[in-house]
Amino acid sequence: MTVATTAGTTIAVSASAPATYDSSGYGALSFTTVGEVTNLGSFGREYALVTHNPIGTRATQKYKGSYNEGQIAMEVGLDTDDAGQDLLYTAATSDSNYSFKVTAQNGDVYYFIAKVMSFKRNFGGVDQITSATITLEITSSSGGVGVVTVEA
């Protein structure tokens, strides 16, 4: 694989949960593409640092503790007629997990479940497009499955 730009990357959402937390389970879902995305941000697993300091050696030993799948602060040009944005707006008032599918320019796909924590509108200045920032908190299934990656 070679590096690529983000151009052409899409994100889609589904109110349904997959039957299984793998590519087959997510692949069976019907997704709605979110329009007018201008910045998708970053996501990925991050581990908590656990340290141990035995007095006999004075050396700090480091271990991986719990992990967090991350957060996405997605930016969109606000389009109240966009079905994907409407679904995210509804999800922001729900306690349920929603399923997501990010498709990169090269065809790689990333599936995950997340809670939509906020949908904030930004009216800015006269020379600015009315936008919204949507915060997704990626979570893991009860079995510990987080982001599922399917490489093209």
- What's the pLDDT tens digit per position in 2-53? 888 999 999 999 999 999 999 999 999 999 999 999 999 999 999 999 999 9
- Alpha carbons 146 and 36: distance in angstroms, whole number: 26
Residue 105 · residue 8 · CB < 8 Å:
yes
pLDDT on residue 125 = 94
Q: Is the pTM higher than 0.75?
A: yes
- State which fold the 10-150 domain adopts: Factor Xa Inhibitor (4.10.410)
Domain boundaries, the chain: 10-150
Q: Which of left, alpha, beta for 27 (phi over 0: left; psi -120 to 50: alpha)?
A: alpha
